[in-house]
Structure 1
Amino acid sequence: MLVQLAIRDFAIVERLDLDLHDGMTAITGETGAGKSILLGALGLCLGERADACSVRHGTKRADLSARFDIDRLPAAKAWLEARELPADDCLLRRALAANGRSKAWINGQPCTVGDLKSLGEHLIEIHGQHAHQALLQEETHLRLLDDFANQGEAVAELGAIFRHWQELRRRLKRLADSGDEIQARRQLLRYQVEELDQLALAEDELGTLEQEQAVLAHAEETLRETRLAVDCCDHDEGGALTLLHQALARIEGLPGAEHGPLAEARSMLNDAQIQIEEAARELHHFIDHTELDPERLAQVETRLGEVHRIARKHHVMPEELVELQQRLRSELDSLEGNEHDLDALTTEIEANRDAYRSKARAISEKRRQAAIAFGKEVQDQLGFLAMGKAHFDIDVTSHDTPQPSGLDTVRFLISANPGQPARPLSKVASGGELSRISLAIQVVAASHSTIATLVFDEVDVGVSGATAEIVGQLLRRLGQSGQVMTVTHLPQVAAQAHQHLHIEKQATEDMTLTQMATLDEAGRVKELARMLGGVHLSDRTLAHAREMLDASQHAHH
């Protein structure tokens, strides 16, 4: 469950630290106060796309973090352990720079935004205020039914089988349609590989050849300059050694030559004489063992020319020839291997088709069974929401066209009044009815979720009065076994909460900031009164708010 949320310099929030608890938490505030900012910050911690405009004006970056208690979330623990991350705690952090860049961490370790999203799927489930719009799409019906039946893993496996099956079919079609092209490609590859095999260029040979060519090509110049260097060292007239001998001879007979600065200078001249003698010997050795070899130079240049010619022919750099040879050989081996044997490929396709249909039929049967239970639970919730005369049904229709999700089309149908035929949700005329139907479906889906934290963002839009109170009761009931956070404008819903967070926007001449506080009992009464009666609170409105809160809280004791 979500235990802490920290926000720094995000949108119009300067600093916000929230400690959250299990049960139902209501989040209220006037329109525009920043309730969406709270959910936006949470969404970014869970891997949603970042926007540089979210950084508070005048600051360099926003910093967001969400801490979760995962003691009752084995899937989240397994996710962390699989990546060798600490699994005793779970801290998600996101930093957004004003230049649009963002960074992410999980338990202090850098990660990708994709990692946040992947882990977040095991931590929290968000039901948005526009969920009823998604419920107009049949793809959503199929996903909700599979989640209810706990078939997510089976459907994912079916999708993998389907994709592999389709890839095999595409490969077979390519082989059947382009047999001549494949044969021509095979012949070309054989010629190219044979040519590169004959070249037989070793891994490090090119660099060695280029270095040797440089030495051989300049050998004559090198020898000439080396002999001149030797003359500079030990030539009888004017060589460095001769001059050093003369310098030493002049110092030897001088008073004080045995001590002080002269002695130090004489020692340095002796050292220089030894160094120059060593250098001269090395130069002599180089001259004695270096020969002009035009024949070897020709061989090296011929070899380099051949390497460059073949590289130009293949439109690659010479140093890429070894990798090219390996790549072409691998492609040739693939074309000549058994995987492109038509009979073997046909057999593999048939096996994948049979595996797909077998698993798809098993999934279809579970969907039909789950549809009955799901429909009954939604029907019960509609009764709570003052739509007891409506009839909800889930139609599971099988077809012959394979899809990644199976062989079924799932549709949620509703008959809002007795005697009317059941029709798709998209045909429901009343927005209020659609909101209540959507809420009933979401409550049932959430009650079967394995996620400990459920967030409802204004899902109570379109309901009021006694129905609003029932909505609050439903959300509180969900919070009994986990954590429910709900953003609401309805006092009847907020009064049911175990905790109540209030968001308020404060504006000065040059700054607008959002603040949030956990309300005590008196604060809750005042906020419920505001939600009931507006800005100017009368004694009657406050009394009504007190009565509503007392009734809601005492009803659950």
Structure 2
Amino acid sequence: MLTSLSIKNYALIDKLQVEFNNGFSIITGETGAGKSILLGGLSLILGKRADLSSLKDETQKCIIEATFNVSDYKLKALFEEEDFDYEDQTIIRREILPSGKSRAFVNDSPVNLSGLQRLGASLIDIHSQHQTLQLTDDTFQFQIIDALAKNDSVLVTYQQELKVYKKLQKELKELLNFQAEAIKEHDYNSFLLNELVEANLVDGELETLESEYETLNNIEGIKENLSEAYHLLSDEQIGAISTLTSLKNTFQKLSGLSSKYEDLFNRVNSSLIEMDDVYSEVNALQEGLDADPKRLEEVDSKLKTLHDLMQKHVAEDVSELIKIKEALEEKVSVTENLEDSISKKENEIASQEVKLNGLAKTIHENREAAIPDLKQQLEAILSELGMANAQFSISVSLQDSFFSNGKDELSFLFSANKGGNFNELKKAASGGELSRIMLAIKSILAKYIQLPTIMFDEIDTGVSGEISNKMGDIMLQMSKTMQVFTITHLPQVAAKGHSHFKVYKEDVNNVTRTDLVQLNHDERVVEIAQMLGGIEMSSSAIAHAKELLN
């Protein structure tokens, strides 16, 4: 419930601070006194967008702050979802800066407007002429029926399953689109893949093949040089091995004379051992070196294939070609297995449809069972409100499509006159009738769901004294389970409130300002007497006011 409201520098309000109680609160005031300003300030608390014109003094910021006792509203989950700091006594503050920017805070933490709007909808329900038009909206009409049908939990489950269903449908559509594109590319991808598979790619083979090609392509020159090397190593007269052997023998004779000679001997001996290894390797290379034109052709062909593939796929080396091959294998595989994936997805959707149909049927049956009760209660309340011939024709029929709240199409028709034709509410009911219907609906809803604090803005406009008395009784009854405010011009309604506030305008230093004050019992007598008989109160008006209050 709303426990306090503070407004500074807003429209015609300099500074306003007021405390509220639970039960039924009345707000009265002359036309133009600023009741709409009060509603405008509350609307900012609920997340309405602000603008610079809201500032009374454009050099100062506007601050609107409201305190709510939310301990009974079961809002902790909503606070968690929006990442708000939860407090049983929650404070919402809006600030409009002279620059035109606005800021919003919940329990002193900054919040965005969308989150504030969601929280606000759970705190105050401001009934206005605009909201009366909700009556003609299917979504609101379904909410009324579902409240009586106790469809809350099954609707939550249905909406969760519908979310899964839509996700599956989206995935199937993506698969079908992918398949359509993949079919176009499948043949080409398969051709590219076959080229790479036939190339028998091996990581690092390009360097090996290039080395082998150089050897095979220069076989004669290599042979000639190896032969020369062999001769220089093995010739008995000038060969390196023969010369080193002689040199070794010479230093061997000297090695016993000095360590210097022994060192030279060891170095020559090491060189001889190394030269023997070189000789053996040259000999082996000579023996294993044969011209192989066929192998040269094979290597040349493979190299050409690799270079062509690298150029075609813009690859730096064979390892990149292998990665490209693997990617193509996956594409081709996915395309070839798409039918299985599509079939599996279609089966999942069919299974989900079975679940949804079962839930939609339960929702439908609950609605059908609740409609007679809703119709009876509405017609009974409207009869008390001077619409004795009001009748409703309400029905739901199952459709083929899944909607956000089931599979029902709703027919919510109204006739104000006996023997009259049923028609849509917006065509069959006048503005005054819509207001009374809305009050009837709100009073019924209050029995079934935890409504937030509700504020009626002149819902009794245009009705007679007796009917307004009945409307006041209905709002008073509602206030037993919730906090109810009503802005009214009718004394019969004003007298029923537990608390009474007056909005008034006054001129201070040639500046008009609006204020709100709570009236005590005597002040209420005066206010109601003036509502009955005007500023010049008669003794009978005062007596009547006292009678109404008692």
What is the TM-score of this pair, normalised by structure 2?
0.68
Contact conserved, 1:489 with 1:531, CA < 8 A, in 2?
yes
In structure 1, C-alpha distance between the alignment counterparts of 2:334 and 2:546, rounded to whole Å: 80
In structure 1, C-alpha distance between the alignment counterparts of 2:102 and 2:334, rounded to whole Å: 44
1:17-416 matched pairs, under 5 angstroms: 17-73=17-73, 75-80=74-79, 83=83, 85-177=85-177, 179-182=179-182, 341-416=341-416
**1:153 CA drift (Å):** 5.0
Spell out, residue by residue over 1:339-386, the C-alpha distance to the aligned partner (whole angstroms, 9 max, x if none): 992122212221222222121111111111222222222122113212
In structure 2, C-alpha distance between the alignment counterparts of 1:402 and 1:15, rounded to whole Å: 52
**1:25 CA drift (Å):** 0.1
**1:179 CA drift (Å):** 2.4
In structure 2, C-alpha distance between the alignment counterparts of 1:52 and 1:77, rounded to whole Å: 34
CA separation of 1:338/1:32 partners in 2, compared to 1, >3 Å: closer, same or farther? Answer: farther
In structure 1, C-alpha distance between the alignment counterparts of 2:496 and 2:84, rounded to whole Å: 41
Paired amino acid for 2:76:
K
CA separation of 1:335/1:507 partners in 2, compared to 1, >3 Å: closer, same or farther? Answer: farther
Computing the radius of gyration from Cα coordinates, the structure with the larger value is 2
**What secondary structure does 2:141 align onto?**
helix
**What secondary structure does 1:16 align onto?**
strand
In structure 2, C-alpha distance between the alignment counterparts of 1:364 and 1:452, rounded to whole Å: 27
In structure 2, C-alpha distance between the alignment counterparts of 1:161 and 1:107, rounded to whole Å: 35
Paired amino acid for 2:93:
R
**1:510 CA drift (Å):** 4.6
1:488-527 matched pairs, under 5 angstroms: 488-508=488-508, 510-527=510-527
In structure 1, the partner of 2:441 is: 441
CA separation of 1:377/1:335 partners in 2, compared to 1, >3 Å: closer, same or farther? Answer: farther
User: Gaps spanning 5+ residues in structure 2: where?
Assistant: 197-313, 315-326
**What secondary structure does 2:72 align onto?**
coil
Contact conserved, 2:179 with 2:338, CA < 8 A, in 1?
no
**What secondary structure does 2:402 align onto?**
strand
Q: Which 10-residue stretch deviates more, 402-411 or 157-166?
A: 157-166
**1:503 CA drift (Å):** 0.4
1:417-432 matched pairs, under 5 angstroms: 417-428=417-428, 430-432=430-432
Spell out, residue by residue over 1:403-423, the C-alpha distance to the aligned partner (whole angstroms, 9 max, x if none): 222111223333333333443
Contact conserved, 1:81 with 1:87, CA < 8 A, in 2?
no
In structure 2, the partner of 1:456 is: 456
**1:508 CA drift (Å):** 4.7
Contact conserved, 2:50 with 2:96, CA < 8 A, in 1?
yes
Contact conserved, 2:175 with 2:338, CA < 8 A, in 1?
no
1:473-552 matched pairs, under 5 angstroms: 473-508=473-508, 510-550=510-550
Contact conserved, 2:84 with 2:109, CA < 8 A, in 1?
no
CA separation of 1:540/1:407 partners in 2, compared to 1, >3 Å: closer, same or farther? Answer: same
Spell out, residue by residue over 1:449-484, the C-alpha distance to the aligned partner (whole angstroms, 9 max, x if none): 313522212222231210001111110111122211
Contact conserved, 1:128 with 1:456, CA < 8 A, in 2?
yes
In structure 1, C-alpha distance between the alignment counterparts of 2:425 and 2:332, rounded to whole Å: 56
CA separation of 1:512/1:100 partners in 2, compared to 1, >3 Å: closer, same or farther? Answer: same
**1:56 CA drift (Å):** 1.9
Contact conserved, 1:142 with 1:409, CA < 8 A, in 2?
no
CA separation of 1:471/1:177 partners in 2, compared to 1, >3 Å: closer, same or farther? Answer: same
Spell out, residue by residue over 1:177-201, the C-alpha distance to the aligned partner (whole angstroms, 9 max, x if none): 552424678999xx9xx9xxxxxxx
Paired amino acid for 1:23:
G
In structure 1, C-alpha distance between the alignment counterparts of 2:411 and 2:527, rounded to whole Å: 41
**1:170 CA drift (Å):** 4.2
Contact conserved, 1:136 with 1:425, CA < 8 A, in 2?
yes
CA separation of 1:147/1:11 partners in 2, compared to 1, >3 Å: closer, same or farther? Answer: farther
**What secondary structure does 2:517 align onto?**
strand
CA separation of 1:430/1:65 partners in 2, compared to 1, >3 Å: closer, same or farther? Answer: closer
Contact conserved, 1:141 with 1:411, CA < 8 A, in 2?
no
Q: Which 10-residue stretch deviates more, 92-101 or 356-365?
A: 92-101
In structure 1, C-alpha distance between the alignment counterparts of 2:17 and 2:331, rounded to whole Å: 62
RMSD: 3.3
In structure 2, C-alpha distance between the alignment counterparts of 1:491 and 1:381, rounded to whole Å: 21
In structure 2, C-alpha distance between the alignment counterparts of 1:370 and 1:420, rounded to whole Å: 25
Q: Which 10-residue stretch deviates more, 81-90 or 126-135?
A: 81-90
In structure 1, the partner of 2:208 is: none
Paired amino acid for 1:76:
L
Contact conserved, 2:443 with 2:474, CA < 8 A, in 1?
yes
Contact conserved, 2:8 with 2:62, CA < 8 A, in 1?
yes
In structure 1, C-alpha distance between the alignment counterparts of 2:38 and 2:340, rounded to whole Å: 55
**1:43 CA drift (Å):** 2.0
In structure 2, C-alpha distance between the alignment counterparts of 1:547 and 1:67, rounded to whole Å: 35
In structure 1, C-alpha distance between the alignment counterparts of 2:64 and 2:147, rounded to whole Å: 30
Q: Which 10-residue stretch deviates more, 358-367 or 412-421?
A: 412-421
How many residues are aligned here? 413
Paired amino acid for 2:46:
L
**What secondary structure does 1:503 align onto?**
strand
In structure 2, C-alpha distance between the alignment counterparts of 1:383 and 1:334, rounded to whole Å: 72
Paired amino acid for 2:455:
V
In structure 2, C-alpha distance between the alignment counterparts of 1:437 and 1:333, rounded to whole Å: 64
Paired amino acid for 1:13:
I
In structure 2, C-alpha distance between the alignment counterparts of 1:451 and 1:137, rounded to whole Å: 19
**What secondary structure does 2:398 align onto?**
strand
**What secondary structure does 2:75 align onto?**
helix
CA separation of 1:432/1:45 partners in 2, compared to 1, >3 Å: closer, same or farther? Answer: closer
Contact conserved, 1:395 with 1:411, CA < 8 A, in 2?
yes
Paired amino acid for 1:115:
G
**1:155 CA drift (Å):** 2.9
**1:167 CA drift (Å):** 4.3
Contact conserved, 2:84 with 2:106, CA < 8 A, in 1?
no
Spell out, residue by residue over 1:212-233, the C-alpha distance to the aligned partner (whole angstroms, 9 max, x if none): xxxxxxxxxxxxxxxxxxxxxx
Paired amino acid for 2:104:
A
**What secondary structure does 1:400 align onto?**
strand
**1:18 CA drift (Å):** 1.1
In structure 1, C-alpha distance between the alignment counterparts of 2:515 and 2:481, rounded to whole Å: 29
In structure 2, the partner of 1:468 is: 468
Contact conserved, 1:26 with 1:497, CA < 8 A, in 2?
yes
